[in-house]
Structure 1
């Protein structure tokens, strides 16, 4: 009989990348992690023997814990969290079950975590498309606590050095355009996010960001929304926060709604 505290791979897969996604905790021991240093998208690493230290980070979110196979470590950690009133589940099959299902996994070594346990990124101010889409991707699939700095173009590298931040979407850095691909494409590939909806979304973003609207008819609409959002908000961080919903909607369209159309119904008999 399935445990009432168990979540299936399929159920968790449907939540990842959406605002309803739980906080995901990789509780594998170091030896198991070293065998496969990839994590489920947006997961944090946390040892099972210091579970209580997580409580001030959860902030009323639901939690999914996983270990190597979904047995004693994840079930015990989830049970301990529930004893503190947290809505916590463990992943059926653990990391091995997730991987064998060909579900997406993020290369842990690619995530530029700092001493505070989250990533800090810097790019040019007044973002439009790529510089909003990339932070959305990072927060939804890589690091939910990621921070973003928007500064003058000629100060990006200086700020990166002084604040130990990772530069993106500028020339001559790792996280940037490559050939015909934009920075969003690069992040999807480098993080190992083999998700069909993200590939579809990447096509739209690339089309809008590189002014090649022939690649995707939705690009003109994305450009219009992006320019409008940049005019509505003076503060770049506020613009990013408000734009998260736009990319959430585009992701759901790419995942579930691409075949839906709309016209004007008539009642002529």
Structure 2
């Protein structure tokens, strides 16, 4: 097969799946832009975690109308659709790169087998599209819950912002108003009985959100256990649960405005997730987990 039509120009900047994976879930993660052609986008049930949709034919308007930032563009296989979009964005002043291999990690029979193997080894996190929950990548989603958030009602927005929909909007209202306001605002209710996302048995809303979007990530599973222990007062589930509970209650005392509380707590969950990633990698690689060890005798010697 003649693969020249599928090749990406050498001059088009790219990012490897491994490098992108190391930045996903972080506050400084680049914007992910899904530019798959309409047919391919509609037939696919998944997005890269946190991706925003832009049709290829709309990339010029997007480039001129949105604030410039760092962006990673992906199509199905990382060929001409994404390279053309990157060229448009860079010409408009964006720091744009394409994802090598695209969402599929390269095309069998077209890309070099060694490249495909390397790209697919990264296992980039993806999410299931959920039009019933307002998450398809095409528009910002809206979420609503009870006011005075402590743990689950902060952990869920963190998960949404970092892995599901960075553009998500959140509303906090008194208990009795949640469902009426959900209807009025076109928002999804969560962490309240009878809501689409809420506690199920021993699982808390954070667990249910992971399941709803089929978000598979060992570090997130570990974080979910910490959140569950703190949110359900089962502090035996994880040693870190007691610390999360204490920090959450303290932040609640410092902030009377619910959105201020959310903004103040996001870095706490960023740090917890970073630690969970290290812990998961330690288990996978069989290496010691970093600890803090500064015994009195070492301090005296210093």
TM-score by length of 2: 0.84
Contact 1:67-1:73 within 8 A present in 2 as well: yes
Contact 1:129-1:205 within 8 A present in 2 as well: yes
Alpha-carbon displacement from aligned partner over 1:143-175 (angstroms, at most 9, x marks no partner) = 111111000011101111111111000001220
- Residue 241 of structure 1 corresponds to which residue in structure 2? 263
How much has 1:55 moved relative to structure 2?
Answer: 3.2
Aligned-partner Cα distance in 2 for 1:204–1:142 = 20
- Residue 197 of structure 1 corresponds to which residue in structure 2? 219
Matched, 1:12 2:42: no
Aligned-partner Cα distance in 2 for 1:65–1:6 = 9
- Residue 151 of structure 1 corresponds to which residue in structure 2? 173
Q: Which runs of 5+ in 1 are unaligned?
A: none
- Residue 132 of structure 1 corresponds to which residue in structure 2? 154
> Structure 1 residues 56, 141: CA separation in 2 closer, same or farther (over 3 Å shift)?
farther
Matched, 1:226 2:248: yes
Equivalences for residues 17-96 of structure 1 within 5 A? 17-55=25-63, 58-96=66-104
Contact 2:135-2:141 within 8 A present in 1 as well: yes
Aligned-partner Cα distance in 2 for 1:19–1:104 = 16
Aligned-partner Cα distance in 1 for 2:148–2:69 = 32
Aligned-partner Cα distance in 2 for 1:190–1:100 = 24
- Residue 213 of structure 1 corresponds to which residue in structure 2? 235
Q: Secondary structure, in 3 states, of the residue corresponding to 1:118?
A: coil
Moved more, 201-210 or 56-65: 56-65
Moved more, 95-104 or 124-133: 95-104
Aligned structure 1 segments of 4 or more residues deviating by more than 3 angstroms: 1-4, 55-58, 98-102
Q: Secondary structure, in 3 states, of the residue corresponding to 1:193?
A: coil
Aligned-partner Cα distance in 1 for 2:236–2:279 = 21
Alpha-carbon displacement from aligned partner over 1:161-192 (angstroms, at most 9, x marks no partner) = 11111100000122011111000011112112
Aligned-partner Cα distance in 2 for 1:137–1:58 = 24
Aligned-partner Cα distance in 1 for 2:204–2:265 = 19
How much has 1:2 moved relative to structure 2?
Answer: 6.1
Which of 115, 121, 133 is the aligned partner of 2:143? 121
How much has 1:52 moved relative to structure 2?
Answer: 2.5
Moved more, 85-94 or 52-61: 52-61
Matched, 1:109 2:130: yes
Q: Secondary structure, in 3 states, of the residue corresponding to 1:243?
A: helix
CA RMSD of aligned residues (A): 2.1
Between Structure 1 and Structure 2, whose CA radius of gyration is higher?
2
Contact 1:168-1:176 within 8 A present in 2 as well: yes
Q: Which runs of 5+ in 2 are unaligned?
A: 1-8, 107-118, 281-288
How much has 1:212 moved relative to structure 2?
Answer: 0.3
How much has 1:4 moved relative to structure 2?
Answer: 5.7
TM-score by length of 1: 0.93
Aligned-partner Cα distance in 1 for 2:64–2:260 = 25
Matched, 1:264 2:294: yes
